[in-house]
């Protein structure tokens, strides 16, 4: 294996580890603020949701983004990512009809090294129906 291929694999592994750490940090952040986590890494055909959480009549479909700084994390939720989250959220709602009466939001938690997580409500609109 070339040195370049090994470097690329190490970078990917490092980024994956950073992402896993970020998801745990986001989960802890929500729990400490009174949210009840309903699902983690919810998979549906065509989409995934990092966290689904409920609090006081709100269900948040949360995307977790970890980047070297918060501003880079904010721009990382692309229109394609929003479409995939919306698709997965619609799938989740078909299996959890009790949630239809709740306020449904597309939130994000942005993670950067040596910073507190930033939970941003309604950072993207869900296209559910």
Query: Domains in the chain, ordered, with CATH?
Result: 3-124 (3.40.1350.10)
Q: Report DSSP state, residue 42.
A: E
pTM: 0.83
pLDDT (tens digit, 0 to 9) for every residue of the chain, 129 residues total?
A: 555 655 565 555 545 555 678 899 999 999 999 999 999 999 998 899 999 999 999 999 999 998 877 676 677 788 899 999 999 999 999 999 999 899 999 999 998 888 899 999 999 999 886
CA–CA separation, 70 and 91 (whole Å)? 30
CA–CA separation, 100 and 54 (whole Å)? 12
């Amino acid at each position: 294996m070339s040195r370049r291929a090994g470097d690329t694999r190490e970078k990917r592994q490092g980024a994956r580890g950073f992402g896993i750490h970020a998801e745990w940090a986001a989960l802890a952040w929500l729990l400490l603020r009174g949210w009840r986590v309903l699902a983690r890494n919810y998979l549906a055909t065509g989409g995934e949701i990092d966290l689904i959480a409920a609090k006081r009549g709100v269900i948040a479909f949360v995307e977790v983004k970890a980047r070297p700084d918060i501003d880079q994390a904010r721009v990382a939720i692309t229109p394609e990512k929003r479409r995939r989250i919306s698709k997965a959220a619609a799938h989740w709602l078909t299996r959890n009809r009790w949630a239809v009466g709740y306020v449904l939001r597309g939130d994000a938690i942005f993670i950067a090294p040596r910073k507190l997580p930033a939970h941003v409500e309604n950072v993207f609109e869900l296209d559910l129906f």
